[in-house]
Amino acid sequence: MEAWVAGVVVSPNSASTAAGREFMASMIMGRPQVFLVQHDWTAALRHDIDLGTVEPRLPFELVAYEFDISGHRVIHIEHQERGSMVAVHAGQHWCAFPLWTAYTPPKTREVGLNSIFQITTEMVRAITILLESDVLLAQHIEAAPALNRSRARSKKPPIFDHHVLNIAISRPTSALDAEPGMAGGKPGVRLHFRRGHYRRVEGGSTWIRWTLVGDPDLGFVEKTYRL
């Protein structure tokens, strides 16, 4: 945010138009909710779900996901309706690349960063699935008042309270609530993901969340979800 205000964010020619600058300003300065990602969340899903077919359903309207990829800070900012952008800290500068729409692949020949875009896009989709599926354990971490007083004296921004999310994929709520050998009233159903989807209702449609259902004691059903 500070780099954008200072005017030192580098971007490709396609983002130098008034529309491109306005788009990136709305993403960077829109106060997104922040996820600091420390683990490969796609590892929990990549063998079971084709993440390229997943429509992301964000936990908030505007979200920023920060990663460390090969020693570089990478931030993927996604808006539920407007699209997404990726910013990479290279050397002394931030380089920002608008993706415009969450469902259109970037022009990789122009920016040459296809692998990073693929990593962050799939990671965001995996995170949204696991958040919806109720398979995460949240640990609340309180900021130390003494540390923040010290940071204030040094004119540094405060550290805020935050939550650490850990994957507990083998013990979903739906399975814990079921009797042994039972899942959703059906005996002998192995653990599996039920894909999120829109259901048509009178006057429109409603979103049905991704869920993890079944009995973990019976094993896990591996599927590839494709359109």
Q: What is the pLDDT of residue 149?
A: 93
Q: What is the pLDDT of residue 108?
A: 45
Cα–Cα distance for residue pair 16/4, rounded to 1 Å: 13
Q: What is the pLDDT of residue 62?
A: 92
Backbone phi and psi for residue 110, each to the nearest 5 degrees, phi listed first: -80, -45
On whether the CB atoms of residues 114 and 121 are closer than 8 A, the answer is: no
Summarize pLDDT for 48-68 with one digit per residue, the tens: 788 888 877 888 899 999 988
The token pair that represents 55 in the structure block: 């429509």
Taking residue 32's Cβ as centre, other Cβ atoms within 10 Å add up to: 20
On whether the CB atoms of residues 58 and 75 are closer than 8 A, the answer is: no
* Residues contacting 39, CB < 8 A, separation 6+: 167
* Residues contacting 164, CB < 8 A, separation 6+: 138, 139, 141
Cα–Cα distance for residue pair 85/121, rounded to 1 Å: 10
Task: Please list the pLDDT of the chain residue by residue as tens digits (227 residues).
Answer: 778 877 778 877 767 778 878 888 888 888 888 888 888 888 878 777 888 888 778 888 999 999 888 888 899 999 988 888 899 988 788 888 887 544 444 454 444 467 788 888 888 998 888 888 877 778 888 889 999 999 999 988 888 888 888 776 554 444 444 444 434 445 566 677 788 878 888 888 888 888 877 766 554 444 433 32
